[in-house]
Structure 1
Amino acid sequence: MANFSKSNVPQFSVEVYQNSYLPEAGSEVNAIVTVTSTGGGTSGGTPLAARDRAQGDAPDAAVAIMVDCSGSMDYPPTKMRNARDATAAAIDTVRDGVAFAVIAGTHQAREIYPGNGRLAVAGSSTRTQAKEALRKLSAGGGTAIGTWLRLADRLLASADVSIRHGIVLTDGRNEHESPEDLRAALEACAGRFTCDARGVGTDWEVKEVSGIASALLGSVDIVADPSGLAADFTQMMEAAMGKEVADVSLRLWTPQGAEVAFVKQVAPTVEALTDRRTEAGPRAGDYPTGSWGDESRDYHVCVRVPAAGIGQEMLAARVSLVLPQPDGSPPQTLAQGLVRAVWTDDMAASTSINPQVAHYTGQAELAQVIQQGLDARKSGDRDGATAKLGRAVQLASASGNADTAKLLAKVVDVVDAATGTVRLKAKVAEADEMTLETRSTKTVRVKK
């Protein structure tokens, strides 16, 4: 397998958006850090899969697909068939040379292909064999997702590759292991592979499946109608095949006396990173960002600095993208940006909020009030639900988040979006409520 040299690592850039002016005694500095990676996932518009097959490159990746085969996958019987078809479509999307395996998940984990604790190498014959093996999949048994993840981890760890990725599909609640067992499995797998999670139908728990994707730095979504699985799996696998570099961290260095208040990803989804910090030398900490292809993400960084006098200026934080080196030498710095603080008595300068910071503060609040509103609705607190979901409608409308606004309109009747005046709908389809909850953290980029 190829190792990353500087020539085949995507080019990273960092842009910092902030109002660096603070009033006298001001001590909180907010910045939006936009990280962009180019030259990774596509080449001149040619998708990676086509490019690799044309050039015969051996991709530096391994993938494990975990398919729920619990008894509930037989209700209706089309669900299991759709899951088999979707997995076959994903296997067709795996690039030549990528190591892969398929796992059947019930209350235990079973290797369906290739078996014997190994990974297969994708090519026309192994794809055909894997799809043959899928035909034998049948539903029966319980659900213990932690065991699926641990098996995927063992298989992926056997490959000498840079990028390890999992896809997990489930249709039910994780009823055959304790929440502690699942949490322990996630802690054991975090940082070892990334994983996308999909819930099919409406009998699964959104917080549970979202928690899996969040812990393993992957995407989460609902496929309410099982007939949509094949298209979703194809798209998910294409995105996984577009990743070119793994284990990139956002490194934050702060000067003496300054401290990081929080770090969160704010686009394309809201993801809290503050508690995932690992120390990286004096006054520096690393926050994991997972794998990258051709893409751009935004992060909100908030730093508390010691208050200073008018006219003083300081570097509040240095933001770097770093890539660990396989030989244990110091990590490679891919890009860097600076967050500044300047104290001023100019009221207009110190009170103006940077448009990017304002936009993403609103998007983070939007995700939070949707969650709070849905929780209130489930607990029977109609007034609380109306207030929170009304605020969500107002925020979605103001920020131009049309996708979230459409999902909200299936849960509430919107009287006036600008003021957030809404009425709770008397009847809401379970799929609509779960879709809103699952996608509540998706954000829109600020219009530059």
Structure 2
Amino acid sequence: MANFSKPTVPRFAVDVYQNEYLPEGGREVNAVVTVSATGGGTIGAAHLYSPDRGPAAAVALMVDCSGSMDYPPTKMRHARDATAAAIDTLRDGVHFAVVGGTHVAKEVYPGAGRLAVASDATRDAAKQALRRLSAGGGTAIGTWLRLADRLLSSADVTIRHGILLTDGRNEHESPEDLRAALDSCAGRFTCDARGVGTDWEVKEVTQIASALLGTADIVADPAGLAGDFTAMMETAMGKEVADVALRLWTPVGAAVRFVKQVAPSVEDLTGRRAEAGPRTADYPTGSWGDESRDYHVCVAVPPAGIGQEMLAARVSLVVLRTGGTSRSSEAESGGGTAQNLGAQGLVRAVWTDDMAASTRISPQVAHYTGQAELAHAIQEGLDLRKAGDLDGATAKLGRAVQLAGVSGNADTAKLLAKVVDVVDAAAGTVRLKAKVEEADEMTLETRSTKTVRVKK
């Protein structure tokens, strides 16, 4: 079991980076909002928090047990070992369950529609139960997620998290069924998703992680599963505040064009807007530990004349109500029932006739605009390559190489170099490799949205 030090009360901070100056008649305001949580601990009712154990949490481990997990036979063994390693990382007092996933979902441990509470005894019992896992059957991931949701919702906890492993395509339910399951689970728990080997569909795994505000990655070699599962569980055990939302208030005449998480990865939150009162909306960000994330906010404002200025947006952080009952103490804020976390940032607009001031782009905004374009160029390039449009793929992946170099995204540049031969990185001149390892292409696609932080 991991050793966790005694937590303290967390502190959230909001910093806004922007060029507030617009030319006469200018209407678009861009800002990068950095949100930081430091100090540890939890926001929540006293009965949901132990100063010795940390915030009350529940975790569901969903392990693919379909027939393909037997090819090669070591894959299932590595999956069992990885799940055991994750169970060993559980903090005492955390509720947990193991789900075996095929074309149906089955409770592996503890069973009877309930969760176990982590202790030396239950961790050992869970690992014994893992030995009975065997491969056979199909793949219907929506059923795994729905069972995990039922189990996680049975505990009165602040943090609900899932870890999902699959090695194949979701062939035994329709895309609509999976989408419906994700819609049902969204906002109820977060989930990290992993694909092992190279026979799974990248867009399915990333769709799961995106919908449930978790991470997605590839573990090409099953031998790497234990290390990856341990790291995921350590991160989950470090989460201290659940259901945090970025709350945006805008004045009359202004409108939010988009809200995107841009670090540590690109995730468009615009479509997840939830109204929270007059001219106020919430954008979900999931659970937080000690960490920092960046968001790109774009607001359209009414045009104005030289010398005028206005508050284009006010950014704050709240803990949302979930399922009609707040998981935290309640306070009215911005028209929605939520707990305000006490951090705020202001996005301003100032109209000027100083051409140098109004045409300058904030370094933070420029950096993350490039990072978002980089992710899009990779995804488009790989799609075009699969479709046989080699010229289009070359152009898009060449642009990606160029953007990776400009932004200093060395990890993505290395992944791109396994798919293309780089002739001139600065110019974006590349040649598609004649032969590309499937694992390299899938790794690039899965990690295409990972970004590097801008240097403040």
* TM-score grouping bracket, smaller chain normalisation: over 0.9
Aligned to 1:162: 158
C-alpha contact 2:260 2:267 (8 A) present in aligned 1? yes
Counterpart amino acid of 1:445? R
Aligned to 2:25: 25
Q: Which sections of structure 1, spanning at least 5 residues, go unmatched?
A: 1-6, 43-51
Query: Partners in 2 of 1:421 and 1:211 — Cα distance?
Result: 31
From 383, 386, 409, the equivalent of 1:401 is 409
Query: Partners in 1 of 2:8 and 2:418 — Cα distance?
Result: 45
Q: CA deviation at 1:170?
A: 0.1
Query: Partners in 1 of 2:224 and 2:363 — Cα distance?
Result: 37
1:325-369 Cα shifts (integer Å, max 9, x gaps): 446542222211000000000000000000000000000000000
Counterpart amino acid of 2:187? G
Query: Partners in 2 of 1:160 and 1:235 — Cα distance?
Result: 25
Secondary structure of 1:394's aligned partner: helix
Counterpart amino acid of 1:211? Q
Aligned to 2:432: 424
2:63 counterpart of 1:67? yes
Aligned to 1:338: 346
Aligned to 1:225: 221
Counterpart amino acid of 2:420? V
2:359 counterpart of 1:363? no
Q: CA deviation at 1:323?
A: 1.3
Q: CA deviation at 1:447?
A: 1.1
1:23-80 Cα shifts (integer Å, max 9, x gaps): 00100000000000001279xxxxxxxxx99x74364100000000000000000000
C-alpha contact 2:54 2:240 (8 A) present in aligned 1? no
Q: CA deviation at 1:213?
A: 0.3
Q: RMSD in angstroms over aligned alpha carbons?
A: 1.4
The residue correspondences of 1:311-326 to structure 2 (distance < 5 A) are 311-324=307-320, 325-326=326-327
Aligned to 1:48: none
Q: CA deviation at 1:8?
A: 5.2
Q: Which sections of structure 2, spanning at least 5 residues, go unmatched?
A: 1-6, 43-48, 321-325, 333-337
Counterpart amino acid of 1:362? G
Secondary structure of 1:88's aligned partner: helix
Aligned to 2:126: 130
The count of residues paired between Structure 1 and Structure 2 equals 432
C-alpha contact 2:9 2:41 (8 A) present in aligned 1? no
Runs of at least 4 residues of structure 1 off by over 6 A? none
Aligned to 1:104: 100
C-alpha contact 1:414 1:421 (8 A) present in aligned 2? yes
Query: Partners in 1 of 2:400 and 2:452 — Cα distance?
Result: 14
C-alpha contact 1:60 1:163 (8 A) present in aligned 2? yes
C-alpha contact 2:330 2:339 (8 A) present in aligned 1? no
C-alpha contact 2:262 2:451 (8 A) present in aligned 1? yes
2:76 counterpart of 1:80? yes
C-alpha contact 2:8 2:41 (8 A) present in aligned 1? no
Aligned to 2:361: 353
Aligned to 1:435: 443
Query: Partners in 1 of 2:88 and 2:402 — Cα distance?
Result: 43
| 83 and 41 in structure 1: CA distance in 2 versus 1, 3 angstrom threshold | farther
C-alpha contact 2:32 2:364 (8 A) present in aligned 1? yes
Query: Partners in 2 of 1:287 and 1:263 — Cα distance?
Result: 8
1:131-172 Cα shifts (integer Å, max 9, x gaps): 000000000000000000000000000000010000000000
C-alpha contact 1:59 1:97 (8 A) present in aligned 2? no
2:284 counterpart of 1:288? yes
Secondary structure of 1:214's aligned partner: helix
Counterpart amino acid of 1:159? A
Deviates more, 1:152-161 or 1:330-339: 330-339
The residue correspondences of 1:238-249 to structure 2 (distance < 5 A) are 238-249=234-245
From 225, 231, 237, the equivalent of 2:233 is 237
Secondary structure of 2:357's aligned partner: helix
Query: Partners in 2 of 1:435 and 1:410 — Cα distance?
Result: 10
Secondary structure of 1:280's aligned partner: strand
Counterpart amino acid of 1:439? R
C-alpha contact 2:331 2:340 (8 A) present in aligned 1? no
C-alpha contact 1:58 1:98 (8 A) present in aligned 2? no
2:264 counterpart of 1:268? yes
Aligned to 1:34: 34
Query: Partners in 1 of 2:41 and 2:177 — Cα distance?
Result: 35
Q: TM-score, normalised by structure 2?
A: 0.93
C-alpha contact 1:270 1:364 (8 A) present in aligned 2? yes
Query: Partners in 1 of 2:154 and 2:37 — Cα distance?
Result: 28
Aligned to 1:253: 249
C-alpha contact 1:58 1:96 (8 A) present in aligned 2? no
2:387 counterpart of 1:379? yes
1:194-240 Cα shifts (integer Å, max 9, x gaps): 00000000000000110000000000000000000000000000000
